[in-house]
Amino acid sequence: MTDHANIYITRGQSYLEAADVLIASDRSSLSLYDPLSGLLLFSIEISLKAVIKFATGTDSVGHHIEQYLVDAVEHGLLVSEEIAAGVFMVAKPYWLHAPRYAPHHKEGISMPPISLMRELASKTIERCIATIEGETERPDFPALTVDEAKALRERANQAYEKRIAEFDPSRVYRPDEAPPIPLGTRFTSPLRKL
């Protein structure tokens, strides 16, 4: 393992550990949603960057975890469709900084729950470590090919754009008629003042 890849993966693990400390605290996960989601999503980002750094020796700049996942698969990361779909689901809101700006309240959080993001982070780090350490055994799931990862990323992007197009931030929605709040939207219904 190159020194920098090792540093990246260790940092990815430390961000996950920091999130676990907050999760284990007595504080409401809703009140800590922004810092928790930031820690978990950055742990995914830096772990994917570790695989790329290990394989290519180059640094990836930015927060485009959807591209980093595809690049990491191209460089040997074996990842399930389930994990890739989760990463692709949060990718665009993440690089748009939605965890900081999206509305969060108990009736309708506009990002996935912390439990899901924690699982994504944990499994992504686990797969990245296995890749860097030269895993020789095939995992117990069908691993995505690069083409499958690209196709899944495109479907996730299209679904995201469709949700954004259907959501009208100027309209007051009743709870029974509201569409799902698009992940990472910075708007909330005027019916609620947060």
CB–CB of 180/95 below 8 Å?
A: no
Q: What is the CATH number for 23?
A: 1.20.120.330
Determine, yes or no, domain membership for 112: yes
Determine, yes or no, domain membership for 191: no
Determine, yes or no, domain membership for 39: yes
pLDDT digits (tens, 9 = 90+) for 135-147: 878 888 999 999 9
Determine, yes or no, domain membership for 178: no
| Chain mean position to CA 92 | 9
Q: Which two tokens stand for residue 137?
A: 């055994």
Helices vs strands, H then E, count in the chain: 7, 0
pLDDT of residue 91: 86
Which of 32-41, 98-107, 111-120, 125-134 shows the lowest mean pLDDT across its residues?
A: 98-107
pLDDT digits (tens, 9 = 90+) for 154-167: 998 888 777 766 66
Domains in the chain: how many in total?
1
CB–CB of 89/183 below 8 Å?
A: yes
CB–CB of 47/10 below 8 Å?
A: no
pLDDT of residue 189: 42
Determine, yes or no, domain membership for 187: no
pLDDT confidence of 178, banded at 50, 70, 90? low
Determine, yes or no, domain membership for 149: yes
The range of the structural domain enclosing residue 158 comes to: 3-166
CB–CB of 190/174 below 8 Å?
A: no
